[in-house]
């Protein structure tokens, strides 16, 4: 676990908390399901024996299974990646290399998932921000700013807001970007964790949909993600790049992901019911403390307004062993992100500690 | 397997052959051991159950085991990566971002492993080439060109030459680069497959050693590599980057790599004996056909001179179902690379087909 004594408030960073656990720590930090993966995923382990290189693009059985889930697609349209993270990274890097009259700018709705601005910069591009209104895309602002951009990242359901964009908004974005020839990176890793409706899959000639087995099937540590696009030239450029940057994605993880694709829909339904129960608990708990927050429509995050968020995060961790992430990591200064991907008892205990702290701090 | 009918000579690329196998194909292509990993590596599978995020830097047990293998090092000096490929990619990208009076140029001895120039360019830097003399670094040329470069990649034992640099050369490079403040990426993935002496570990304040479990322990498909450096600032920058670009390396693969670290040295010794036998077979076979080639001192590649290498590669594949890689992928136009990472019978059969073709072609 984290060494409390070596830490300071200035040093707080997401890398410090990921994979961290310890006795008596309540972590509303990293967004990973506490539930186990479907049993069939690890049932293949005892007899598994293939450890050689796989296809760079990803194993065919897995891509075939995915092609059945996406309309008008073939296995050629997919690349299996080291989590959604690598899918985002490779796509941005491949887009940077495409010659275009457009400037190398990428539009990011804000608050954003904290890696987006960094990935954009690492890829040699410049982030441009469009502030959300009440957690939703402001179409007027979006229309103005998208014209100047080569790409945009959409993340619905959103981490960290827990919001789901309306289908009208998503369809308008499809039209706008198709007309402008803008690349759309649609990060839909929470597509199976929506409480308000079915997921709407963004479509278009330059859309790259990014997804993962991590959240739906509780297999974050195996790092199996993928991208899907009908822009075959871009897909091929990404494969060429991946041949150099990481080669095939872990071959055993891919076989486990293939098993996950056979999981009946009822598994996901049951998971959503569990998430919904937890959502209600934390939403009501934090609302009950007088905090201002949106009721999550998808994913497993709440983003309440909290005075002096960095102090809150620091003290909650040092004094109450509660991990939460300051909003400024996500581009918002007056909020704190809580993941509710932990069991009911832990959420209750965590809420108790937050209530105690807020009482003491007189907030 | 590869669809012969959809292929053309212009389309030949490494990505096409990696992970490809098929009935009656003899592949001298991709460099992966045909041998199985040590049994203990997959003995952990039946009871393995941890699928959550791990530490971005890599699991502590694995880094502790590695720290015992590298002098004056602690687990903090390591990052576990998606193969040596990701270690190279992240290191180059992190170096690009470091402000320096030096230009963003990277020196590459040529012939080079085919991904190097691409990785350098993907990272936004410019490759500068230093041609090897008879497969070895030309120190005069090296001295001239290194002054202008921010980094250099050294690869001894070398893929594709099979050569091992002399310890004198490596020590001179250590001195030169330490004085100039040049980053050294020492790709030592074949450190355990040397026929002529023990590996010499390059040391220095800005040395990043890159290694992998793929070759030594025959676990290429699991993609577990790592980097080691005493330049802690650079290591920390790489971890910060990896937090965004791929997060932790596959957690089950890491546990299997940890098991591999417990393999007795006798396993490696036995492997080297097998490689040496194969080396002798292919070296004598190709020499016997009158081809001009170096006797490999490490790794498992030979790089004979062959007239019209692209035609040779194309015809050998189309007509004789033999895969070999044209030298131009490695920066050398008059040679062909053969990997001898396959069993004696297959090497013999492959040599027979090469002999037949060369006889027909009258070369």
Q: What is the pLDDT of residues B131-174, one digit of tens each?
A: 999 999 999 999 999 999 999 999 999 999 999 999 999 999 99
Q: How many CA atoms lie within 13 A of A19 on its CB side?
A: 21
Distance from CA of B348 to the nearest CA of A (A): 22
Tell me if A82 and B83 make a contact (CB, 8 A cut-off).
Answer: no
> Is B49 part of the contact surface with chain A (CB cutoff 8 Å)?
yes
Q: Please check the confidence at residue B1 and state whether its pLDDT lies above 50.
A: no
* Residue extents of the structural domains in chain A: 4-30+265-361, 40-260
Contact B210, B87 (CB under 8 A): yes
Judging contacts by C-beta atoms under 8 Å, the chain A residues touching residue B221 are: 50-54, 248, 250-252
Query: B276 exposed, middle or buried (CB, 10 Å; 0-12, 13-18, 19+)?
Result: middle
B5 has pLDDT over 50: no
pLDDT of res. A30:
82
| Cα gap B280→B283, rounded to integer Å | 5
- Contacting A residues, span 76-95, partner chain B, CB-CB under 8 Å: 82-83, 85-86, 89, 93
Distance to chain A for B322, nearest Cα, Å: 18
CA dihedral B65, B70, B75, B81 (to 10 degrees): -80
Both structure tokens of A268: 């996901």
The rounded mean pLDDT for chain B is 94
Residue of A13, A51, A86 lying closest to B221 (CB–CB): A51
- Record: contact A221-B83, CB cut-off 8 A: no
Contacts of B241 in chain A (CB under 8 A): 118, 122
Q: Within 10 A of B181 (CB to CB), how many other CB atoms are there?
A: 12
pLDDT score of A10: 65
Rg from Cα positions in chain B: 20
Residues of chain A scoring pLDDT < 70: 1-11, 15-16, 18-21, 361-363
Confidence of residue B122 (pLDDT cuts 50, 70, 90): very high
Q: What is the pLDDT of residue B353?
A: 97
Name the 3-class secondary structure at B95.
helix
Q: Which DSSP string do the residues of B6-72 spell out, in sequence order? A: G--GGG--HHHHTT---TT-EE--S----SPPPHHHHHTGGG----S---TT--HHHHHHHHTTSTT
Phi and psi for A126 in degrees, rounded to 5?
-120, 125
Helix, strand, coil percentages in chain B from 3-state DSSP, rounded to 5: 45, 15, 40
Q: Distance (Å, rounded) from C-alpha B307 to C-alpha B227?
A: 38
For B290-349, write each residue's pLDDT tens digit.
999 999 999 999 999 999 999 999 999 999 999 999 999 999 999 999 999 999 999 999
Q: Which residues of A159-168 are buried (b: 16+ CB within 10 A; e: fewer)?
A: bbbbbbbeee
Residues in chain B: 363
- What residue has token string 């129960």? A277
Task: Report, as an integer, the average pLDDT of B274-301.
Answer: 97
Pairwise CA distance, residues B148 & B182, whole Å: 9
CB contact under 8 A, B42 and A32: no
Terminal Cα-to-Cα distance of chain B (whole angstroms) = 30
Q: Which residues of B touch A253 (CB under 8 A)?
A: 250, 252-253
Rg of chain A over CA atoms, in angstroms?
20
CATH code for residues A40-260 = 3.40.640.10
**Domain covering A4-30+265-361, topology:** 3.90.1150
Cross-chain Cβ contact B15/A239 below 8 Å: yes
Q: Decide if pLDDT at B222 tops 50.
A: yes
Nearest-CA distance from A348 to chain B in Å? Answer: 22
Residue B182: which residues within 8 A CB-CB, separation 6 or more? B102, B146, B149, B150, B151, B152, B176, B206
Distance of CA A199 to the CA centre of its chain: 15
- What is the per-residue pLDDT for B15? 66
Q: Please name the residues in contact with A271: beta carbons below 8 A apart, sequence gap of 6 or more.
A: A33, A35, A192, A193, A216
Largest CA distance in chain B: 59
Give, in order, the Cα–Cα distances in Å from B311 to each of B60, B66, B289, B320, B340: 49, 44, 18, 13, 21
Residue A9: its pLDDT value, please?
65
pTM assigned to the model: 0.95
Decide: B41 and B259 in contact? Cβ < 8 Å.
yes
Q: What is the three-class DSSP state of A363? A: coil
Nearest to B295 by CA among B270, B276, B308: B276
From chain A, the residues in CB contact with B118 under 8 A are 241, 244
Report how far residue A202's alpha carbon sits from residue A209's, in angstroms, rounded to the nearest whole number: 8
Residue from B94, B213, B235, B252 to probe the interface with A (highest A Cβ count within 10 Å): B252
CB-based contact A216:B241 (threshold 8 Å): no
Neighbours of B322 (CB within 10 A): 24
Instruction: For residues A303 and A338, give the distance between their C-alpha atoms in angstroms, rounded to a whole number.
Output: 6
- pLDDT number for residue A1: 41
Sign of the four-CA dihedral B303, B306, B311, B316: negative
| DSSP states of B200-254 | -----TTEEEEEESTTTTT-GGG-EEEEEES-HHHHHHHHHHHHHHT-S--HHHH
The nearest alpha carbon in chain A to B253 belongs to A250
How is residue B255 written in tokens? 């546990």
Domain covering B39-261: architecture: 3-Layer(aba) Sandwich (3.40)
Q: Which residues of A touch B14 (CB under 8 A)?
A: 243
B352 Cα to chain A: minimum distance (Å): 26
pLDDT above 70 covers what percent of chain B?
94
Q: Are B137 and B111 in contact (CB under 8 A)?
A: no
Q: What pLDDT shows up at residue A13?
A: 72
Per-residue pLDDT tens digits for B37-89: 999 999 999 999 999 999 999 999 999 999 999 999 999 999 999 999 999 99
Tell me how far apart the alpha carbons of residues A226 and A218 are, in angstroms, rounded to a whole number: 16
Instruction: Report B:214-233 residues touching A (Cβ under 8 A).
Output: 218-223
Q: What is the pLDDT of residue A15?
A: 66
How confident is residue B12, by pLDDT bands cut at 50, 70 and 90? confident
User: Tokens 């993935």 map to which residue?
Assistant: B189
Q: How far apart are the first and last CA of chain A?
A: 30
Residue B49 with chain A: CB contacts under 8 Å: 36, 42
Nearest CA among A56, A2, A48, A78 for reference residue B253: A48
C-alpha B114/C-alpha A244 separation (Å) is: 8
Whether chain B has a CB inside 8 Å of the CB on A30: the answer is: yes
Overall fold of domain B4-30+266-361: 3.90.1150
> Which residues of A fall within a CB distance of 8 Å from B124?
124
Which residues of chain A does B93 touch, with a Cβ-Cβ cutoff of 8 Å?
122
Q: Which of B46, B246, B253 sits opposite A86 (nearest CB)?
A: B246
Give dist(CA B7, CA B11) in Å, integer.
Answer: 7
Distance CA A77, CA A64 (A): 10
């Amino acid at each position: 676990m984290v060494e409390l004594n070596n830490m300071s408030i200035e040093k707080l960073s997401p890398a410090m908390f990921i994979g961290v656990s310890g006795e008596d720590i309540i972590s509303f930090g990293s967004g990973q399901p506490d539930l186990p993966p479907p049993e069939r995923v690890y049932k293949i382990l005892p007899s598994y024996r293939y450890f050689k290189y796989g296809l760079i693009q990803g194993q065919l059985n897995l891509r075939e299974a995915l092609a059945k889930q996406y309309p008008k697609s073939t296995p050629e349209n997919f690349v299996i990646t080291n989590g959604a993270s690598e899918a985002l990274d490779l796509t941005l890097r491949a887009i940077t290399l495409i010659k275009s009259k457009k400037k190398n700018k990428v539009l990011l709705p804000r608050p954003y998932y904290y890696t987006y601005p960094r990935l954009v910069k690492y890829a040699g591009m410049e982030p441009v921000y469009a502030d959300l209104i009440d957690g939703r895309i402001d179409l007027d602002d979006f229309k103005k700013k998208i014209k100047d951009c080569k790409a945009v990242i959409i993340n619905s359901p959103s981490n960290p807001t827990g919001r789901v964009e309306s289908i009208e908004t998503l369809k308008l974005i499809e039209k706008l970007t198709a007309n402008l020839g803008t690349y759309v990176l649609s990060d839909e890793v929470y597509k199976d964790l929506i409480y308000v409706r079915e997921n709407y899959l963004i479509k278009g000639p330059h859309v790259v949909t990014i997804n993962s087995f991590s959240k739906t099937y509780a297999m974050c540590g195996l790092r199996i993600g993928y991208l899907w696009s009908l822009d075959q030239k871009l897909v091929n450029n990404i494969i060429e790049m991946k041949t150099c940057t990481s080669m095939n994605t872990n071959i055993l993880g891919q076989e486990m992901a293939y098993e996950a694709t056979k999981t009946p829909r009822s598994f996901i339904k049951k998971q959503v019911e569990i998430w919904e129960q937890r959502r209600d608990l934390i939403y009501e708990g934090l609302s009950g403390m007088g905090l201002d927050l949106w009721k999550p429509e998808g994913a497993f995050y709440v983003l309440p307004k909290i005075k002096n968020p960095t102090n809150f995060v620091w003290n909650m961790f040092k004094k109450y062993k509660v991990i939460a992430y300051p909003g400024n990591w996500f581009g918002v200064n007056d909020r704190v992100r809580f993941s509710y991907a932990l069991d009911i008892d832990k959420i209750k205990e965590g809420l108790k500690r937050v209530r105690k702290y807020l009482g003491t701090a007189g907030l």
